[in-house]
Chains A and B, each alone.
Chain A
Amino acid sequence: GEQVEQLPSSLIVQEGASVLINCSYTDSASVYFPWYKQEPGKRLQFIIDIRSNMERKQTQRLTLLFDKKTKHLSLHITATQPGDSAIYFCSASLGNYKPTFGKGTSLVVHP
């Protein structure tokens, strides 16, 4: 079945820095790639998604890049703030209601 890998597993940065979270998947048939953020002790929240017919999507300080050929995604967060501290999850879906999640990337932003 589909496997999703995220790197790095953790990041520690100073406020204002930019960060890059990488995600790779194995099943070329995956078509939908939502990302979620989980702040400490909180529920997962959707932050951005991309479909396999797109290469780039941007919302506020988030930019999501997708390379179908290499089966790779990158989430770029600019001008980080302490409120961005969370675990970020990449997921991949075949469009069959059964998404596969990565293990998460823990981001800590120091003020």
Chain B
Amino acid sequence: DMKVTQMPRYLIKRMGENVLLECGQDMSHETMYWYRQDPGLGLQLIYISYDVDSNSEGDIPKGYRVSRKKREHFSLILDSAKTNQTSVYFCASSLRDRDSEQFFGPGTRLTVL
């Protein structure tokens, strides 16, 4: 069953704490993405990974970093989380073709107090 998984699904952190969001996919997709979704704003691209250790900034990378050491795993890290990083975070993956349908994970709802 082809799928994208995200852990955890819900997370509450205090301002200044570090946050690790994890994403996995079992489709051997080369490309993976991290987005955040805020009410009324659609999806905003944070980072893209083209493959292992090949990452690129998206539209809103400030305050975030990523890690991809295996093709099937892509992590989003928030060092010293801020309250304005409260959001729903979605991971997605796609084939190498530059114009490919993306497969999305179920999302992680992060609250930073």
Contacts and interface: CB of A to CB of B under 8 A. Distances in A.
Interface residues of B, number: 24
B98 A34 contact: no
Which applies to chain B's interface (DSSP): helix, strand, loop or mixed? strand
A97 B48 contact: yes
B90 A1 contact: no
Interface residues of A, number: 24
Contact of B99 (A1, A46, A51): A51
A100 B61 CA distance: 15
B105 A43 contact: yes
11 contacts: A36-B102, A36-B104, A44-B90, A46-B102, A97-B98, A98-B48, A98-B59, A101-B43, A103-B40, A103-B41, A103-B42
A45 interface: yes
Interface of B: 4, 31, 40-45, 48, 50, 56, 58-59, 90, 92, 98-99, 101-107
Nearest to B41: A103
A96 B96 CA distance: 11
Contact of B42 (A32, A42, A93, A101): A101
